[in-house]
A = this chain, B = another copy of it.
Amino acid sequence: MQAKTALVLGGARSGKSVFAERLAEQSGLEAVYIATGQAYDDEMIERIVEHKERRGSMWMTIEEPLDLVGALVTHAREGRAVLVDCLTLWLTNLMMAERDIAAETARLALAIPGLAGTVMFVSNEVGLGIVPDNRMAREFRDHAGRLNQAVAAAVNDVYFIAAGLPLKMKG
């Protein structure tokens, strides 16, 4: 089987994680979940627990808040479907750690074509509301838009999810 990469883009509670999980489960490959989210507060803990319960025990879970490229190089391989959930939480972690976002974005985009097996990225589209009041939120929105563009250009398939339904934009 040839390497296959995908970006699953959507809004909050659009069903994008469930869609990506189903793609992975239907592939029949060994499923690996790379969780980028960190449990900062109760809401985040609830979401992480909910996601874990939904996926069940068939998945191997890796937690990696910052070195996503390292985790991908280590865990992506022939016969596996790796799901990264999600790029926007990874971006949040990078911003809090004051990393160079443009460099990290480029590093990920450059690594994607060389990954083995199937790799799926879940990400939030956050640029379709009104301009946010605070500068940090505007910067996050700009970085997220550029990251989504870079990953969309690097992967084979791109899906936009709304109300649980996929719209194929590339592939």
- Residue positions of A touching B, CB distance < 8 A: 7, 9-15, 43, 125-132, 135, 137-138, 140-142, 144-146, 148-149, 151-153, 158, 160, 162-165, 167, 169-170
Q: So how many copies of this chain end up in the complex?
A: 3
The winner among A12, A125, A126, A151 for most chain B CB atoms within 10 A is: A12
Closest to A135 in B: B43
Report the minimum CB–CB distance from A109 to chain B (whole Å).
12
Cβ–Cβ contact A145 & B9, under 8 A: no
Task: Determine chain A's interface SS by DSSP, over half rule.
Answer: mixed
| Bound Cα distance A120, B140 (Å) | 28
Cβ–Cβ contact A14 & B126, under 8 A: no
Q: What B residues does A165 contact at CB under 8 A?
A: 152, 158, 169-170
Q: What B residues does A141 contact at CB under 8 A?
A: 12-13, 130
Contact with A7, one of B7, B129, B163 (Cβ below 8 angstroms): B163
Contact with A163, one of B13, B131, B140, B158 (Cβ below 8 angstroms): B158
